[in-house]
Amino acid sequence: MPNQIEAIDPMVLTLKSHVDGALSGEALFRFDICLSEALANLVLHAETTDKSAPITVKIRHEAESLSTEIFDPKGAVAFDIRDKARALDEIDALAENGRGLGLILECADQVDYGPAPEGNRLKLTFKARG
């Protein structure tokens, strides 16, 4: 995906079309929120030496879940959202910003971040909740 704000919505729609059937209803809604927030955070806030470096996204279907891997653009400084997120109840209800990381942690069933062969990776795992 190009590292541009205009590329986020089309990418999320494309990714949703690839997971339709594996995720539906509430799980698909959580997927949408997480992907939108994670990609926006990378485009707007990633400290990278090359702002034109693309963002790579991979989807993996697993036995009981679906995982999305989002790789930081080349040259980006590592940023583990688990260390930076604020609890949603600590954020002013009228604030325009600051909810994204908390939403990701709340909506994904599992959040992992760390080095991978392709670079730093945010892995979000989703399961259909009953």
Q: What is the pLDDT of residue 91?
A: 54
Which of 1-10, 13-22, 85-94 is the least confident region?
Answer: 85-94
Does the pLDDT value for residue 100 go beyond 80? Answer: no
Contact 6, 58 (CB under 8 A): no
Mean pLDDT of the chain: 85
Interhelix angle 25-45/8-19, nearest 10 degrees: 150
Does the pLDDT value for residue 86 go beyond 80? Answer: no
Q: What is the pLDDT of residue 90?
A: 62
Count of other CB atoms within 10 angstroms of residue 105: 17
CATH topology classification for 5-126:
Heat Shock Protein 90 (3.30.565)
The domain locations on the chain are 5-126
Residue 72 has which token pair? Answer: 């930081």
What is this structure's pTM? 0.84
The proportion of the chain whose per-residue pLDDT surpasses 70, expressed as a percent, equals 82
Does the pLDDT value for residue 73 go beyond 70? Answer: yes
Task: Return the half-sphere exposure (C-beta side, CA atoms, 13 A cut-off) of residue 19.
Answer: 30
Closest Cα to residue 81, out of 108, 64, 51, 102? 102
Calculate the alpha carbon distances from 56 to 2, 69, 108, 122 in Å. 9, 8, 19, 11
Q: What is the pLDDT of residue 63?
A: 80
Q: Tens of pLDDT along 87-98?
A: 656 655 555 555
Segment (H or E) for 84 = helix 81-84
Give the DSSP per-residue string, 1-66: --SSGGGHHHHHHHHHHHHBTTB-HHHHHHHHHHHHHHHHHHHHH---S-TTSPPEEEEEE-SS-E
